[in-house]
């Protein structure tokens, strides 16, 4: 059995199309999406529609909340909030009421039983889509915030846009990286295939190239309010 997990599309339709094509070529028995579908993208509507079509289950990310209700004081540094709220409003203006309701009503947590035991999937932490748990965080920090007393064998999350897999006291913690905005210096879409063979599983991080320059041109074509910043992010695969 193969299960696909991806996250942090951020309205990057070309990257999403590349991942969907790749996972279909691999052949997956289930597709799970861990939030942040539309914010900061040139194609928010198309990405929400395509995720809803391809995914078996989808959860809500922090940026999905921003698209629905704006960026609140204290959620980002004060000097960045006005610009980010403008970006959220841009995405909101391109989505229909039904699509905004879809984002607003997504759950925060997925959990399923499998032959190897229970797995949990969430955007940032099991009950809150906002905290940042870095790839190089100490084991105790990851255990207290990611594991967070939840009884599972495998924990999968997004949010930080940096793919990794770690074993922490017999539990496997996996970050999927990002489809649309990787932050690890590799300008390719990132997602995970979970290979399950009876009571054994294997985590495969996959990198999928897409036309980054075509994506950059789309920001200009649509008149995105932070086009130059987003083009730098896509080209360098680094946050600004």
Q: What is the CATH number of the domain that holds 97?
A: 3.60.21.10
The span from the CA of 216 to the CA of 34, in Å, is 24
Across the chain, what does the average pLDDT equal? 96
Q: For residues 55-66, give the mean pLDDT.
A: 98
Q: Shortest CA distance to 4 belongs to which of 166, 136, 195, 140?
A: 195
* Cβ–Cβ under 8 Å, residues 237 and 187: yes
The two three-digit tokens of residue 124, written as one number: 């940032």
Residue-range definition of the domain harbouring residue 83:
2-236
The span from the CA of 95 to the CA of 152, in Å, is 36
Among 51-65, 76-90, 138-152, which stretch is predicted with the lowest mean pLDDT? 138-152
| Crossing angle of the two packed helices 44-54 and 13-26, in degrees rounded to 10 | 20
The span from the CA of 150 to the CA of 144, in Å, is 10
- Write the pLDDT tens digit of every residue in 21-59: 999 999 999 999 999 999 999 999 999 999 999 999 999
Q: For residues 134-152, give the mean pLDDT.
A: 92
Confidence of residue 10 (pLDDT cuts 50, 70, 90): very high
The span from the CA of 132 to the CA of 146, in Å, is 10
Percent of the chain at pLDDT > 70 equals 100
CA distances from 45 to 39, 67, 208, 210 (A): 10, 12, 22, 19
Total count of domains within the chain: 1
- Write the pLDDT tens digit of every residue in 147-175: 988 889 999 999 999 999 999 999 999 99
pLDDT (0 to 100) of residue 113: 93
* Cβ–Cβ under 8 Å, residues 47 and 53: no
Helical spans, DSSP H, in 6-95: 13-26, 44-54, 62-69, 78-93
pLDDT (0 to 100) of residue 92: 97
Taken in order 136, 138, 144, 147, the sign of the CA dihedral is positive
Q: For residues 215-234, give the mean pLDDT.
A: 97
Reduced to 3 states, what is the DSSP secondary structure of residue 104? helix
The span from the CA of 75 to the CA of 78, in Å, is 9
With b meaning 16 or more CB within 10 Å and e meaning fewer, what string describes 207-224? ebebebeebbebbeebeb
Indicate if the pLDDT at residue 188 is higher than 90: yes
Q: For residues 195-200, give the mean pLDDT.
A: 92
Confidence of residue 61 (pLDDT cuts 50, 70, 90): very high
Give the CA angle between residues 70, 74, 80 to the nearest 5°.
Answer: 70
pLDDT (0 to 100) of residue 149: 82
Q: For residues 93-109, give the mean pLDDT.
A: 97
pLDDT (0 to 100) of residue 240: 82
Confidence of residue 195 (pLDDT cuts 50, 70, 90): very high
Give the rounded distance of the alpha carbon of 58 from its chain centre: 10
pLDDT (0 to 100) of residue 198: 86
pLDDT (0 to 100) of residue 116: 93
The two three-digit tokens of residue 123, written as one number: 């955007």
pLDDT (0 to 100) of residue 207: 98
């Amino acid at each position: 059995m193969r299960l696909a997990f991806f996250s942090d599309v951020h309205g990057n339709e070309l990257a999403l199309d590349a991942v969907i094509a790749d996972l279909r070529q691999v052949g997956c028995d289930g597709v799970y999406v861990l939030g942040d579908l539309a914010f900061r993208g040139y194609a928010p509507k198309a990405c929400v529609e395509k995720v809803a079509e391809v995914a078996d289950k989808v959860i809500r990310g922090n940026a999905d909340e921003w698209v629905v209700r704006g960026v609140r004081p204290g959620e980002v540094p004060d000097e960045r909030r006005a610009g980010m709220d403008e970006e959220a409003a841009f995405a909101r203006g391109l989505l229909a009421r039904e699509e905004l309701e879809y984002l607003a009503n997504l759950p925060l947590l997925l959990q399923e039983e499998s032959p190897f035991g229970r797995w949990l999937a969430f955007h940032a932490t099991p009950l809150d889509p906002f905290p940042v748990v870095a790839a190089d965080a100490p084991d105790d920090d990851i255990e207290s915030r990611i594991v967070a007393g939840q009884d599972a064998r495998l924990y999968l999350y997004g949010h930080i846009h940096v793919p990794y897999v770690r074993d922490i006291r017999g539990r496997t913690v996996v970050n999927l990286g990002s489809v649309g905005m990787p932050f690890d210096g590799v300008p390719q879409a990132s997602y995970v295939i979970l290979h399950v063979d009876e009571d054994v599983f294997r985590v495969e991080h996959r990198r999928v190239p897409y036309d980054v320059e075509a994506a950059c041109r789309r920001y200009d074509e649509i008149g995105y309010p932070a086009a130059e910043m987003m083009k730098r992010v896509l080209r360098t695969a680094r946050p600004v």
